[in-house]
Amino acid sequence: MSNISEDKDFELDSNRIRRHFPLINNRNIAYLDNGATTQKPMQVLEAMNNYYENNNANPFRGVYELSVDATDAYERARARVAKFINAKTEEIVFTRNASESINLVAYSLGIKGISEGDEIVVSIAEHHSNFLPWLQVAKRTGAKVVFWECDEEGNFDIETLKSLVNEKTKLVAITQVSNVIGKINDVKSFAKVARSVGAKILVDGAQSVPHMPVDVKNLDCDFLVFSGHKMLSPMGIGVLYGKLEHLEEMDPFLYGGEMIETVTRTGATYAEVPHKFEAGTVNVGDAVGLEAAIDYIDTIGFDTIMKRERALTQYAFELIKDIEGIEIIGSQEATEHEGIITFRVKGVHPHDVASIFDTKGVAVRAGHHCAQPLLQHLYDLKDEKPTGGISTTRVSISFYNNVEDIERFAKALSEIRGEMGYE
- Give the residue numbers marked as catalytic: 370
Half-sphere exposure of 414 (CA within 13 A, CB side): 14
Contact (Cβ atoms closer than 8 angstroms) between residue 253 and residue 274 = no
Q: What is the per-residue DSSP string for 260-301?
A: EEEE-SS-EEEPPTTGGG--SS--HHHHHHHHHHHHHHHHH-
Question: What are the Cα distances from residue 311, in Å, to 159, 161, 182, 242, 365?
Answer: 32, 32, 14, 34, 21
Reported residue count of the chain is 423
Among 209, 247, 211, 230, residue whose Cα is nearest residue 86: 209
Which contiguous run of DSSP H or E holds residue 144? strand 144-148
Residues contacting residue 55 through CB under 8 Å, at least 6 positions apart: 66, 69, 70, 73
Residue 175: strand, helix, or coil: strand
Phi, psi at residue 349, to the nearest 5°? -65, 140
Among 407, 369, 22, 316, residue whose Cα is nearest residue 207: 369
| Neighbour-count burial of 145, counting CB atoms closer than 10 A to its CB (0-12 exposed, 13-18 middle, 19+ buried) | middle
Contact (Cβ atoms closer than 8 angstroms) between residue 47 and residue 379 = no
